[in-house]
Amino acid sequence: MAVFDDLVGQEQAVAVLARAAAAAREVVEGGRGAGMTHAWLFTGPPGAGREEAARAFAAALLCPDGGCGHCDQCHQVFIGSHPDLESVRPEGLSYSVKQTRELILRAAGAPTQGRWRVILFEDADRATESAANALLKAIEEPPPRTVWLLCAPAPDDMMITIRSRCRVVNLVTPAPKAVAHVLATRDSVPPDIARFAARAAQGHISRARALALDEGVRRRREAVLSIPRSLTGVGECVSAAERLVKTSEEEAAAATAALNENETAELRKLYGEGSTGKGLNRGLVRGGAGALKELEDRQKSRATRIKRDSLDAALLELVSFYRDVLAMQFGAGVELANDDLRFDLDQLAKASTPEETLRRVDAIMRCRERLAANVNPQMAVEAMMLSLRP
């Protein structure tokens, strides 16, 4: 099926989804459709393509030809405009029970085109406990033509009661060679850049595509990976931490500024700001101030999430750097993710011991845990930098 063509290195998962799509088509045509179920959980490491796989399966369910990849139905699914596909992604740090209940109400409607009503819930692991309990109720008693597609890094990230009611599709990290081939053939990336991007991204497809096509992304990677050689003293550690946190804040601001402005303008317009007529004035009508405050809270939460995700991506870049150092120290014959920085890797490998390298990796992982626990980013990153210095 053409809709599954972009799922690089996921042959086993594609086989499962293709059989389920065929069974779903049987159901629509009045058959039994053995092998089709109403709840699915897509899991896999970052970059494996959880959301891409779920969206491709949604297209296969909604396409009259089972996922041709060329018809209007498939096109609408992939651009997010299909009337029977509800795609949800938590914009903030979590997904509330109020949002979940609203989603469940929308999911209860019958499909407009007679096939399926599909709910694609990205980052479902970010649902609060109350939201997860509400979601469980919906999955236990779904309407006959509603299909839930949940995405999470691992099955254990979901409540066991939800997990037990879903069919799990495990995705794997694709090999760099397969990612490089996709970049070269589908994105017309020069082969040498495709190989570099696939290797540096460690199989993370969207990250590899960004590295291959965006010079700014490559410059940010270079800035992060220059940190280890810059940590010559306490002052340098503090400066490096400040730069890293500031960069993540700037990325969050750039990603949300236009969206925040549009959302605020639309909400003010909805509540009558600037309208004329009896009972209206140029301020917000009753209820508007509360709605505006709620929107601002969501926007702040979204900015915090983006900043945290940006910082986490930088920390994972550093982990890959020290992993390469460790591989050189042990003489392991593995492909280095950061082979373009072999000189820096070799210098650090000779100047330190494997035990010191492992200590540095542990310091980065502790920093990630602290950030996830809402520790002040500047303090957490500074402590990490001090542990990384020679």
Average pLDDT, the chain: 88
Judge contact between 25 and 67, C-beta under 8 A.
no
pLDDT digits (tens, 9 = 90+) for 164-215: 999 999 999 888 998 999 899 989 999 999 999 999 998 888 889 999 999 9
* Residue 223 belongs to some domain of the structure: no
What per-residue confidence (pLDDT) applies to 230?
94
pLDDT digits (tens, 9 = 90+) for 113-164: 878 999 999 999 989 999 999 999 899 888 888 999 999 999 999 999 999 9
* Residue 74 belongs to some domain of the structure: yes
d(CA 233, CA 12): 50
d(CA 379, CA 390): 20
127 dihedral zone (left: phi>0; alpha: psi -120 to 50; beta):
beta
Are 17 and 166 members of one domain?
yes
Nearest to 58 by CA among 180, 151, 184: 151
* Residue 121 belongs to some domain of the structure: yes
The residue behind tokens 């570099």 is 196
* Residue 318 belongs to some domain of the structure: yes
d(CA 365, CA 363): 5
* Residue 360 belongs to some domain of the structure: yes
Judge contact between 330 and 354, C-beta under 8 A.
yes
What per-residue confidence (pLDDT) applies to 324?
97
Domain that holds residue 15: 10-170
What the block records as the tokens of 108 is 């209860």
pLDDT of 224 over the 90 cut: yes
Are 158 and 16 members of one domain?
yes
Split at pLDDT 50, 70, 90, the class of 295 is: confident
Are 78 and 157 members of one domain?
yes
149 dihedral zone (left: phi>0; alpha: psi -120 to 50; beta):
beta
Are 78 and 17 members of one domain?
yes
Sign of the CA dihedral with 277 first, then 280, 282, and 284 last: negative
Greatest alpha-carbon pair distance for the chain in Å reads: 80
Identify the DSSP state of 39.
Answer: E
Are 192 and 248 members of one domain?
no
CA 252 remoteness from chain centre? 15
What per-residue confidence (pLDDT) applies to 286?
58
Domain count, the chain: 3
* Residue 222 belongs to some domain of the structure: no
Whether the pTM exceeds 0.85: the reply is: no
Are 155 and 50 members of one domain?
yes
CATH number for position 308 = 1.20.272
Are 22 and 89 members of one domain?
yes
pLDDT of 282 over the 50 cut: no
Are 325 and 309 members of one domain?
yes
* Residue 296 belongs to some domain of the structure: yes
What's the Cα-to-Cα distance from 117 to each of 14, 30, 101, 103, 125, rounded to whole Å?
A: 21, 17, 16, 12, 22
What's the Cα-to-Cα distance from 385 to each of 248, 341, 361, rounded to whole Å?
A: 16, 20, 11
* Residue 1 belongs to some domain of the structure: no
Least confident of 219-228, 304-313, 341-350: 304-313
Max mean pLDDT among 78-92, 211-225, 287-301 falls in 211-225
Least confident of 85-99, 205-219, 233-247, 312-326: 85-99
Question: Which residues have C-beta within 8 Å of that of residue 41, sequence separation ≥ 6?
Answer: 124, 150, 151, 152, 155, 158, 162, 163, 166, 167, 168, 169
Mean pLDDT of 4-19: 91
Split at pLDDT 50, 70, 90, the class of 272 is: low
CATH number for position 58 = 3.40.50.300
